[in-house]
Amino acid sequence: MRFTPAAIALSLALATVSSTGIGQPITYAVDPVSQALVDEGSSVQQTGKLDDAIGLYEAALAVDPGNRSAYIALAQIASAQGLPGKAIRLYREALRLDPNDVAALVGQGEAMVQRGAVEKARRNLVRIEAICTTACTETERLVAAIDEAAAKPVLSAEAVASTPTVAPVTEQP
């Protein structure tokens, strides 16, 4: 009982000190070697050697797993290769590192549209519009992708499947 006032005072002091960093953006310095690998991967990707670029981006992530640009670059390649599920997962990793990364939100939204998850892409659009108070070019890209998906006709399983016709049963004498 005699330590209770001291314990309360100490806990209040610790709570005050620890809460001062909440809400502040976390700055993360990317390892220079990892960034150099990403830059080299980008130049290799522009020449069309996607497999070599993937190797460089993965090496960059091995050096520094917190390199968002490597995740985004790998996701862009996956999306270009027609692998939207893989792209969504890679964009999710980039968003885990920075939930307000507009490039990752747009890329993930485009991959979701490519996969057919237009409603989830619209949720990303709402998040982007909340982050970008001024006009963002990325927003226009995602809106265009969503509009293009909305313009495509939706096929249902009923329209595709043919229903068998049954001939009427007649009684034979």
Q: What is the CATH number of the domain that holds 84?
A: 1.25.40.10
pLDDT digits (tens, 9 = 90+) for 2-16: 655 555 554 544 444
Instruction: Classify residue 12: in a domain, yes or no.
Output: no
- 51 is in which domain, residue-wise? 29-151
pLDDT digits (tens, 9 = 90+) for 59-93: 999 998 988 999 999 999 999 998 999 999 999 99
Say how many C-beta atoms besides its own lie within 10 A of residue 100's C-beta.
Answer: 13
Instruction: Classify residue 9: in a domain, yes or no.
Output: no
pTM: 0.69
**Cα(72)–Cα(159) distance, rounded to whole angstroms?**
38
Q: Among all chains, which residue has been given the structure tokens 């640009």?
A: 69
